[in-house]
Structure 1
Amino acid sequence: MFIYSSKTESSNFEQDDDNYLLDAPLTPGYLIYLARSELDSRAKLGIYNDVRNAEQPELVNQYLEDYNSTSARLLACKGEKTNSWSKAVEIVKNPIAVYRMMRRYVYVLKPIWSRLNSTNEMDFLPNLYGAVTPTIDDFYETIESILNLQQFYDFNPMEFSHGLILNLQTNITLNATHTYEIAKYALKQNKYSLSLAWFMATMELNQDPEIIPWEEIEGQIETLVQEHDATHAEFAHDEKQGTYYFHEKLANNPSSLRMRDIHYKTKFGVRPSGQDSYASVTAYYNLMGICSGDSFLSETDRAKLFCKLSTKPHPFFILNPIKLEVRSWSPYVAVFHEAIPKSILGYFWSSTVSLFLNATNPTTEILKTQSGEAVNILEDLNVPDDPRDGVKYRIKPAMSVAHFTDEQAGERFLNYAEMLTALNVKGEGADTFRVNQYLHGNPLRIHCDHLQGHNDAFTEEQGDRIVSFLVFLTSPEVGGGTAFPNLGFKVEPAMGTVIYWDSALTDGSCDFRMAHEGCYAAHGLRWTSVKLIRQKANILKKTCSTREGYWNNDY
């Protein structure tokens, strides 16, 4: 079981020579750590505020007001008995709360820390910061996450600013200063269609022209139009680079259609083949549409599907039937609803949370060296890098990925996996359990689990990956499912639900129809555990059916 940090930048603040800090990537584990640390900071600043009364810095008031209107509001209904880590998780579930928390850390808490340090008041407020301090880049990543959600789900920034995250009202809001900040950042990234929507929201929310002058906002919009139109001919109709453009020059037609909408109409529902099933723009628009609630399953395909209580494929389920839903027959995709007991998943959840949090905390011995670099334990654990182009980050150890050996995963979990799949998943029967944690707007990359001929260190002895077994460890409130862009549907996330699919054709080659990816969790945490089952240990169990080209999946 391990973690590897991909960032090693040291803290901006001076530390003891033997205390090396890691600037952790922006992941749920890192954010949970920060939210938990801020609970302490809020308590300490509250005491400071009471003691100093009228003498406290204005920044302290500003900090407390912002915290009380976001994190404190989220936690108001949780009760005093809720532990601090559970409170931190509730904060991190909400992308608006995360944005405002990171903003406080970078723009408010850091200056407070500096001021108190300069006035020798740090004895009164020891350890105001946690061991890891966010940077401006971390804050920008929270904006990127919001923009990715906007592009993917096409939400209205004005509604989002009022706390509405798709169909969930959270009552955590953004003001004109926040929306203006997001708009300007999007403009710098040349995301013109997204930026313009945030500028429009700023115009509606801006109640005090002295804080944000109207002419300043109008000047930014004019800059947007000029920059957009100057590069329109070069990029607007480019499938890969023109996503954030409008169909026409804005100076000619301020109501021009977005290229996003034009691409969606022409591409959604088209089924690409081969490597285009995961590497093409068409696949991305299919993913985007399916995750947003659209589907292109034919009525003929729908008529073949069913959902039932199943007593197969193991005698255990005769007394404990499971809810089986077949989502596709060819290729085969089955969903076992809430099949893994929460008592088993509780171990996985607590272990991975602890693991990710310990990796965030640089005092963890496994992540410390004299140079301040994270220890690369990849070779020590003999976990292979993934040789396929474009998907290395999914397999390579990182702050967002943890691997569990069979012993660490636990016998009960493995037994359930074998009973549900009727395959060998222990030892050489499958890869290690891999747990993935996702931030709200982490970049998506559609992929196939099959190695496609790019053999890894285990292929010769274990064969290729022929079956994928995915378990949802959490139940995100909005989004967070797993979508199959070539098949036209998604599976909604629920803690304990399992998705089983065949990654290979009956001749052992990659089934490109099984390209898949997770949908953004717009509210909540998407954590999954995946077991990739290998060929050789299952050669007598994974058999072909009497129907040519079909595996025997008799449930």
Structure 2
Amino acid sequence: MKIEQILDIYVQQEESRLASIRSLVTQVKSMANRTAGERVKFVEHPLGAFHLLKTYSKISGEIARGENTKEDLSSALEAHSLSLPTHEDYIGSASAILRLQRIYELPKQELMQGFVRDRFIQPLSIDDALVLGAKAAEQHFFTQAIEWYDVPLRVPVEEEPMLANERIEATLGLINVYLQFNDFENALKFSRWAFETYSYDDRVRDVHADVQRNIDALRFGKMEMPPPANPAEFDEEYAALCRGEVDWTNQYISQGHCIVRTDSVPYRLVKQEILSFDPFISLFYDVLSETEGNKFRNAAKENLYRAMVGNPSEAITSEVRVGQLTWLDDSEPSIKKISARVMDITGLDVTMRTVQSSSESFQIVNYGIGGHYEPHTDTYSNRSVLADVPDFLQNTGDRLATFLFYLGDVVEGGSTVFPRVGIQVPVVKNGAAFWYNLNRAGENDERVTHAGCPVLLGQKWVANKWIREHGQEFRHGCGLTPTTPHHTS
């Protein structure tokens, strides 16, 4: 081949790559040209966010193919503190869609048609179904994986004759899933079908031969049955509460106990709904102004990073918690004023100090597409790790109580739920949830194991104030017994 022919091929490939990028950028521009309200509705719909991340992921992939221009673009984006979403972000959004489907029992067909509840945004494609199937299989949600891999196989061949590669991908995915939990019968059934239909494909021939070889080895005792993969665990009680399926007759729920009380400022009335007396869980209304809520969000936006879980010295990112967070301390007078209000309402000391602080900084968290926090306690699982907390929290004990501000509305989802006592706390804009994490003996109260339900539509902003044991000696002492109920002052 001559050098000019090689150069021609290179130019053609670059022109094809740039045409692809141009087409994708046009899609992004179409989104950007919508009104502000339309843009918000699009990205706050889980399928809208999924599609947008997919488009940006494709742009990142095409740019990565052009090494020279990649560095120039990266530099230009960094100069404006910007970055393109990656393929990992897109796959993460697939995980969010699957989570929402499981928790809120969303029908697959409605998702394929572009609906979440009755809100339409944009249909899913066959390729999207394959991505969802692969992600579900990776996470060991095998039933869900089979459901999504089934999508390309349900399309009649005469309607979509060009879907051969997608059908092969789906079939190979199904075979892999069935093999993981030792369902050799179905694995053989699909491998035979694929071999009879797509015998020209090397992957199909190889997989069919492997399946047949393993089955023969098992049949003739040449191989021991491998241990099946364990399916992922799924907390049904947690999911039911997230869907609003509350048993109002359960012993822990306080039936409509609402009070209006004053705090240390006599003219300031506080509206409180006690959801449970023991364990003590309550919801306060209108304890934050619109301006203060905006202040929290705006101050946090520039510094958000992926939320992590685990002990302070060993925290990691995890599917257990999906959200972005940052911290705000009381150095800002307006934030200090809000901390003082928490102290007035709860009667607990929340004074922040450089040594032996009575509370932690506000943790500001944003939960977007499928954002959630699985059931957990706010206390430390092992008291020995208290030695690893920052200096200002050394020798302050554990987290006695949690005060959780809701900084905005959520269209649907995002409740705080307590599965062990069957209580759901809805997101109430400018309201706050409050509960005790420790019993009167200072021991972890497992009954207040709680979770942040996935955000189905919209986004969720919260500001969390953890109140330490230190400083409460004369404000909230021990009870006569460890089971003495808590109360507010």
Please, what TM-score do these two structures have when normalized by structure 1?
A: 0.64
Do structure 1's residue 407 and structure 2's residue 341 form an aligned pair? Answer: no
What's the offset of the Cα at 1:201?
4.0
Amino acid at match of 1:288: A
Structure that is richer in strand per residue: 2
Distance 1:298 1:509, change over 3 A: same
Do structure 1's residue 325 and structure 2's residue 262 form an aligned pair? Answer: no
**5+ long unaligned stretches in structure 1:** 1-54, 80-86, 237-247, 255-280, 361-384
Report which stretch shifted further, 91-100 or 427-436.
91-100
SS of residue in 1 equivalent to 2:366: strand
What's the offset of the Cα at 1:484?
0.9
Distance 1:68 1:162, change over 3 A: farther
Tell me the equivalent position of 1:464. 398
Tell me the equivalent position of 1:63. 24
SS of residue in 2 equivalent to 1:423: coil
Structure-to-structure mapping, 1:513-524, within 5 angstroms:
513-524=447-458
**5+ long unaligned stretches in structure 2:** 1-15, 191-231
SS of residue in 1 equivalent to 2:376: coil
CA deviation digits over 1:345-389, x for unaligned, max 9?
Answer: 111110001223xx79xxxxxxxxxxxxxxxxxxxxxxxx96489
Structure-to-structure mapping, 1:369-380, within 5 angstroms:
none
Tell me the equivalent position of 1:178. 128
Report which stretch shifted further, 448-457 or 385-394.
385-394
SS of residue in 1 equivalent to 2:429: coil
Give the % identical residues.
Answer: 17
Preserved CA contact (<8 Å) 2:330 2:361: yes
Tell me the equivalent position of 2:432. 498
Preserved CA contact (<8 Å) 1:418 1:424: yes
What's the offset of the Cα at 1:508?
0.8
Amino acid at match of 1:350: N
Tell me the equivalent position of 1:209. 160
What's the offset of the Cα at 1:128?
7.9
Match of 2:375 among 433, 441, 446: 446
Distance 1:180 1:225, change over 3 A: closer
Q: Determine the C-alpha separation between the residues in 1 that align with 2:242 and 2:155.
A: 30
Amino acid at match of 2:351: K
Q: Determine the C-alpha separation between the residues in 2 that align with 1:283 and 1:178.
A: 23
Preserved CA contact (<8 Å) 2:300 2:327: no
What's the offset of the Cα at 1:437?
2.6
Tell me the equivalent position of 1:530. 464
Amino acid at match of 1:172: Q
**Cα RMSD (Å) of the superposition?**
4.2
Do structure 1's residue 78 and structure 2's residue 3 form an aligned pair? Answer: no
Distance 1:217 1:412, change over 3 A: same
Preserved CA contact (<8 Å) 1:283 1:486: no
Preserved CA contact (<8 Å) 2:60 2:85: no
Preserved CA contact (<8 Å) 1:313 1:420: yes
Preserved CA contact (<8 Å) 1:423 1:542: yes
Preserved CA contact (<8 Å) 2:53 2:85: yes
Q: Greater CA radius of gyration, 1 or 2? A: 2
CA deviation digits over 1:29-82, x for unaligned, max 9?
Answer: xxxxxxxxxxxxxxxxxxxxxxxxxx996436632664477x359x44738xxx
Preserved CA contact (<8 Å) 1:473 1:529: yes
Please, what TM-score do these two structures have when normalized by structure 2?
A: 0.71
Tell me the equivalent position of 1:549. 483
Distance 1:450 1:108, change over 3 A: closer
Tell me the equivalent position of 2:262. 312
What's the offset of the Cα at 1:545?
6.3
Tell me the equivalent position of 2:237. 286
Amino acid at match of 1:515: T
Tell me the equivalent position of 1:433. 362
What's the offset of the Cα at 1:543?
3.7
Q: Determine the C-alpha separation between the residues in 2 that align with 1:391 and 1:292.
A: 30
Q: Determine the C-alpha separation between the residues in 2 that align with 1:326 and 1:60.
A: 55
Tell me the equivalent position of 1:133. 84
Q: Determine the C-alpha separation between the residues in 2 that align with 1:186 and 1:470.
A: 32
Amino acid at match of 1:78: G
